[in-house]
Amino acid sequence: MKIAERTEEAGYRRVRQSLSGLESFIQRQVWPARLALVAAGMAIAILLCALFFRYGIKLYANWHQTRLLQQAGSMLQHGRFTEATQTARELVAQHPDSLPALYVLAEAAEKQNLGEAISSREQIARLRPKDPDSQLNLVFAALRFGKLDLARKALDQIPANDRDRAAFHVVAGWLASAEGNFAEQEEQFAAAVKKEPKNDLYQFNLAALRIHSSDAQKKANARENLGRLSKLVPYRTSAVRALLNDAVGRNDLSAADNFAQQLQMSQEVTFGDYLLCLNFYRKLDEKKFRLLLERVKPFAAKNPSDLASLIEWMNRNELTEEVVKWIEKLPAEKLNAPPAAVAVADTYAKAKNWTRLKRWTRKGMWGESDYLRLAYQAIGIRQSREDAPKEFDKRWGAAEQSTNDRPERELVLARLASKWDLEKESERLWHRVAENPSLRREALDALRRIYRGNNDTGKLYDVLQRLHESSPNEAPITADFARLGLNLERNIERSHTLAKEAYDRAPNEVNCAVTYAFSLYRLSRSPEGLAIIQGLPADQLRDPHAAVYTALMLADSSQIGAAKDYVDAADHGIYPEEKTVFEEARTKISSASASPSPASSPVPAQSSPKPASTPQPILWRLRCAKRDADVACNTRVTRLMETVILFTARFPLSRAQRGVTDAVEPINRFRVNAVFYGHAHNGILDGKTSTGIPVYNVSAPALRKTGKPYRVVEL
């Protein structure tokens, strides 16, 4: 039993030894593999951690950015513009090219009427250069904040294939309006309506503009459209306001009464609308006007801005004496601060109460309007003749200095200087204002009036050039610029080109048509110019500045009776540079009226008989200039013999066949020695009239056949 147990125990021992050896063997074989597995696992773990760290942060950043954008959008939607701006700025600091963040910044700035919108719109346009909407948004933002040069530059960058869209035409129209080019504004608005005729906003923009048109048909169509739009809630008040203005202007009191009642019942009525109604009721019924005025006064006194507006309106409508009595009854605290204080100063100035004006402006706290206090004080000193001009110069200089070179203040001061005929001061200020693109048009118009008033044609030409450059598509300005250039003989070639451009753009506008006709006359194409003149309404040609050119062309075409009528119409009110044209017309009329009869001798009477002699050579000086395949020749004759009679005539360049034929009668009547004709481009070199008077062809093509650029003729 014990032996068996020992044998079994020995067996177990051998098994354990075998297993132990096997385990040692396995451990010796598996350990390196295990180590490799552990290393691989650790490497995978590190790699996964790195990938997770890298992409996790990116995912978190994207999530965080999305969350911030959602927050900014929600803030913007709920009117929390400051918080939306801060959130969007945080995003832009991390991602400068984040378009959604830039959109939030732009819209938040626009909602708050902040100029920062421009920089955001510029960045968006830079990131999306081929997107027309981004460019148009930049134009609109630049327009809104007076950056007209930037707006024009951005608009010009829009590709041509994206310009035939309604949105483009609308923005281009508002830019034209800001530049003062109302003709182009109308064209652009009309183009927008043509592209989207069912868009009521576009229809309203065009109708509100055309209600002021001089074209009766356009005005009638605008009135009809505004009547339709006045029944639509979004446009009701604005349409009624425009219709009331129109009715008052047409003196249609019945329609105006209806519109005035509608406007006063509107929930969107403004204080300016009450002033508009006052305009109407003053025409309609003095009793109703007085009742409304007395009702408006206490309402206006509650708000300084409304109070100033009412005082200004009453001053403009010759109610200054009533204003003086009214302000004496108002509490001082309502009048001592701008804008009411400025309106009171203007009242005393209009009433010519210089003592009260100087007392009112002597002291006080006008804040940012203190420059106006100094300006009115200077006006009071000048008008009362006390210590002028030295004290005036001192006060006015202080007023200009107080503007701190801010364009909007300089504009107000320039308007005030013009109002009180301070020519030197207003000219200086308007030049400064003209440097600001958004105010340039008003400044240049004011300078134009100044230089036209004192007939400084040199400076006037420069101002018209700047006006044309700032508004090149405005036909009346182009015509004025061209005509002045022709009269002053400055940049003649360009003036002819501009005259044609103006006429092509507005052929029915009398100023443009007359200018182009005058240009054709100067190019020796009188019949063409006269045809344009004759196509215009006769009443429009009675304007002195049209009549002077009409008289010239009629006289040139031997229509002496009609020419005399227009000379009479042009006898007063023409510009100094037009007096040369006027005298030229009168000379032509006098020459025609003093023409000798065929039976009379063309040779002047002599105190003693003169022996007959052979005619001697005379010098013919020809000056020819080629333009548009036509040749204009002015012939001057130096008369060396009393038997030679000077005959000068102009012929149409493009009607060579008719030229000499039309002139045969005056040629024969004057019994001239010879005719030199420069427009028979395809004609023979020499010819004769029916009475044997020699005709010499001196056109450039004919002279080329002779091999010489001139002809010498003995008479």
- Dihedral Cα 60, 63, 67, 73, nearest 10 deg: 130
The C-alpha atoms of residue 697 and residue 688 are separated, in whole angstroms, by: 11
Q: How confident is the model at residue 54 (pLDDT cuts 50, 70, 90)?
A: low
- pLDDT digits over 114-123, tens only? 888 898 898 9
The predicted pLDDT at position 361 comes to: 92
The predicted pLDDT at position 166 comes to: 92
The C-alpha atoms of residue 175 and residue 346 are separated, in whole angstroms, by: 33
The predicted pLDDT at position 42 comes to: 72
Report helix angle 132-144 to 166-178, nearest 10: 20
Question: Which of 8-12, 188-192, 350-354, 583-587 is least confident?
Answer: 8-12
The predicted pLDDT at position 269 comes to: 84
Q: How confident is the model at residue 65 (pLDDT cuts 50, 70, 90)?
A: low
pLDDT of 570 > 60? The answer is yes
pLDDT of 38 > 80? The answer is no
The C-alpha atoms of residue 409 and residue 417 are separated, in whole angstroms, by: 12
> In Å, how far from its chain's centre is CA 306?
31
Please identify which residue in the block is written with the tokens 């013999």: 641
The predicted pLDDT at position 603 comes to: 29
Query: What is the distance in angstroms between the CA of the first residue and the CA of the last residue of the chain?
Result: 177
The residue type at 248: V
> In Å, how far from its chain's centre is CA 111?
27
The C-alpha atoms of residue 74 and residue 108 are separated, in whole angstroms, by: 12
The residue type at 694: P
Specify the length of the chain in residues. Answer: 715
Mean pLDDT, to the nearest integer, of 436-456? 92
Burial of residue 364 (number of CB atoms within 10 Å: 0-12, 13-18, 19+): middle
> In Å, how far from its chain's centre is CA 331?
44
Say what the pTM is.
0.68
474-593 adopts what CATH topology? Answer: 1.25.40
Mean pLDDT, to the nearest integer, of 240-261? 89
- Phi (first) and psi of residue 620, to 5 degrees: -105, 115
Mean pLDDT, to the nearest integer, of 472-490? 92
The predicted pLDDT at position 620 comes to: 30
- pLDDT digits over 204-218, tens only? 999 999 999 888 899
CA Rg, the chain, in Å? 43
Count the alpha carbons within 13 Å of 245 in the hemisphere toward its beta carbon.
17
The closest of 553, 529, 544, 552 to 576, measured between CA atoms, is 544
pLDDT of 494 > 80? The answer is yes
Question: Which is more confident, 680 or 446?
Answer: 446
Mean pLDDT, to the nearest integer, of 149-177? 89
pLDDT of 434 > 60? The answer is yes
The predicted pLDDT at position 6 comes to: 53
Question: Which is more confident, 382 or 655?
Answer: 382
Name every residue whose Cβ is closer than 8 Å to that of residue 370 and which is 6 or more positions away in sequence: 402
**95 and 103 Cβ atoms separated by less than 8 Å:** no
Count the alpha carbons within 13 Å of 673 in the hemisphere toward its beta carbon.
17
Q: How confident is the model at residue 641 (pLDDT cuts 50, 70, 90)?
A: very low
Question: Which of 11-15, 70-74, 195-199, 568-572 is least confident?
Answer: 11-15
pLDDT of 160 > 80? The answer is yes
Name every residue whose Cβ is closer than 8 Å to that of residue 149 and which is 6 or more positions away in sequence: 437
Question: Which of 72-86, 407-421, 621-635 is least confident?
Answer: 621-635
Mean pLDDT, to the nearest integer, of 180-203? 91
pLDDT of 10 > 60? The answer is no
The C-alpha atoms of residue 496 and residue 522 are separated, in whole angstroms, by: 9
The predicted pLDDT at position 628 comes to: 35
* 3 state SS of 634: strand
The C-alpha atoms of residue 565 and residue 551 are separated, in whole angstroms, by: 8
Highest-scoring range by mean pLDDT, 155-169, 384-398, 490-504, 530-544: 490-504
DSSP string, 470-487: HSTT-HHHHHHHHHHHHH
**42 and 48 Cβ atoms separated by less than 8 Å:** no
Q: How confident is the model at residue 690 (pLDDT cuts 50, 70, 90)?
A: low
pLDDT of 660 > 80? The answer is no
Question: Which of 104-113, 232-241, 642-651 is least confident?
Answer: 642-651
The C-alpha atoms of residue 450 and residue 464 are separated, in whole angstroms, by: 12
Please identify which residue in the block is written with the tokens 């029944």: 231
The predicted pLDDT at position 681 comes to: 56
Q: Which two tokens stand for residue 527?
A: 């019949």
**465 and 498 Cβ atoms separated by less than 8 Å:** no
Question: Which is more confident, 471 or 550?
Answer: 550
Mean pLDDT, to the nearest integer, of 40-65? 62
Q: C-alpha angle with apex 221: 216 to 227, nearest 5 degrees?
A: 125
The C-alpha atoms of residue 2 and residue 12 are separated, in whole angstroms, by: 15
Q: Which two tokens stand for residue 492?
A: 């003649």
**181 and 473 Cβ atoms separated by less than 8 Å:** yes
- Phi (first) and psi of residue 632, to 5 degrees: -105, 125
The predicted pLDDT at position 88 comes to: 81
pLDDT of 339 > 50? The answer is yes
Mean pLDDT, to the nearest integer, of 510-533? 93
The predicted pLDDT at position 209 comes to: 94
Mean pLDDT, to the nearest integer, of 451-458? 93
Highest-scoring range by mean pLDDT, 33-37, 98-102, 249-253, 415-419: 415-419
> In Å, how far from its chain's centre is CA 54?
57
pLDDT of 576 > 80? The answer is yes
The predicted pLDDT at position 341 comes to: 94
pLDDT of 599 > 60? The answer is no
The closest of 424, 409, 419 to 374, measured between CA atoms, is 409
pLDDT of 609 > 50? The answer is no
pLDDT of 200 > 90? The answer is yes
The predicted pLDDT at position 682 comes to: 56
Mean pLDDT, to the nearest integer, of 444-449? 95
Mean of all residue pLDDT scores within the chain:
80
The C-alpha atoms of residue 482 and residue 505 are separated, in whole angstroms, by: 14
pLDDT of 413 > 70? The answer is yes
The C-alpha atoms of residue 649 and residue 339 are separated, in whole angstroms, by: 66
